[in-house]
Structure 1
Amino acid sequence: MSRFLCFSVLVLLAAVAVSSKPHEEFDKEHAAEVAEECKTETGATDEDVEHMMKHEPAESHESKCLRACMLKKFEIMNDEGKMSKEHALEMIKLISKGDADMEAAATDIVDKCEAIEVPEDHCDAAAAYEKCIVDHIHEHGLSLE
């Protein structure tokens, strides 16, 4: 699984709503732009963004909120702090570009992680989803690199 796909799954775990289908505009450059917006909105640092991009656990509440912001901007997390399975699966189909194995693994990960109980705090919920996704990526024998 490519690093970009893993980031995308973590950001499903992901385009500011400028069109009716924000996922159509998703690419690495756009994700970096949204990360900058979220950094400003949450008070996160450049280091927090770096940790997120390297799939390292969030060390501060601001870092967790950075992840929650990203998930919300990409409509992977809804206003209630829950994973939007529909949008996550839409993102996976876009990113997998027809790779059936990749799509199946990512769909399984979304199914499992969408079902977990998460804290009410949206920032903590984002960190819980991220941990679940990373754990299941490894379970599938996939790499974050």
Structure 2
Amino acid sequence: MKFALILFFGVVVCGAEFDKDLVMKFIQKIKKVSDECTAETHASPEDIKALLEHKIPESHEGKCMVFCFHKHFHIQNEDGSLNKAETIASLDPIKEHNREVYDKVVKVLETCADTAATDSDHCIYATNLADCAIREGKSMGLDELLVVE
């Protein structure tokens, strides 16, 4: 099965633009986190398929899969709040390889941090952030980079 990750701001990896070692390390982490989050949330194959298609899953378990990824990548804290400072700090490898992509991703992060609807349900908030990132990323030409397979 393929594994995908929709990150709220898009930890972007594009083989043609980034160091192959960076790409391989990121893909290995994605696979590990995917296994852990699938087990934790009980997300269905339909939920995974939705993520692969750049869509927000309909089920609550699928939405919690997004939150699980956000926790693993320190985008959201355990309490569901946005961890903006650590998220930006985690983008340093991207900044080193492609400053233009980095700047766009930070802009998406800032926009979504300000505009995504908050929710007391951490899973719903996570998907609101992801939905915003998909929309904003596409508008900035990052749509090919928002999902890693």
Q: TM-score range by the shorter chain?
A: 0.7 to 0.9
Q: In structure 2, what is the equivalent of residue 50 of structure 1?
A: 49
5+ long unaligned stretches in structure 2: 12-23
Q: In structure 2, what is the equivalent of residue 40 of structure 1?
A: 39
Q: Tell me the alpha carbon deviations over residues 50-71 of structure 1, each in whole angstroms, 9 at most, x when there is no partner.
A: 3223322212111000110110
Offset at 1:48? 1.8
Separation of aligned partners in 1, 2:109 and 2:101: 12
Which letter maps to 1:120? S
5+ long unaligned stretches in structure 1: 1-5, 15-24
Offset at 1:114? 1.4
Q: Give TM-score scaled by structure 1 length.
A: 0.77
2:88 is equivalent to residue 70 of structure 1: no
Offset at 1:96? 4.3
Map 1:104-115; keep pairs closer than 5 Å: 104-115=103-114
Q: In structure 1, what is the equivalent of residue 131 of structure 2?
A: 131
Which letter maps to 1:52? L
After superposition, the CA RMSD in angstroms is 2.4
Separation of aligned partners in 1, 2:58 and 2:92: 31
Question: For structure 1, which segment, 100-109 or 87-96, has the greater mean C-alpha deviation from structure 2 after superposition?
Answer: 87-96
Q: Secondary structure at the match of 1:44?
A: coil
Q: CA 1:96–1:54 in structure 2 vs 1: closer, same or farther (change >3 Å)?
A: farther
2:85 is equivalent to residue 82 of structure 1: no
Separation of aligned partners in 1, 2:103 and 2:132: 17
Separation of aligned partners in 1, 2:90 and 2:127: 19
Separation of aligned partners in 2, 1:91 and 1:118: 23
Separation of aligned partners in 2, 1:53 and 1:119: 24
Q: In structure 1, what is the equivalent of residue 14 of structure 2?
A: none
Q: In structure 1, what is the equivalent of residue 19 of structure 2?
A: none
Q: Secondary structure at the match of 1:79?
A: coil
Separation of aligned partners in 1, 2:136 and 2:51: 17
Choose between structure 1 and 2 for higher RCO, CA contacts under 8 A separated by at least 6 residues: 2
Percent of aligned pairs with the same amino acid: 25
Offset at 1:72? 0.6
Offset at 1:82? 2.1
Question: How many residues matched?
Answer: 129
Offset at 1:113? 1.0
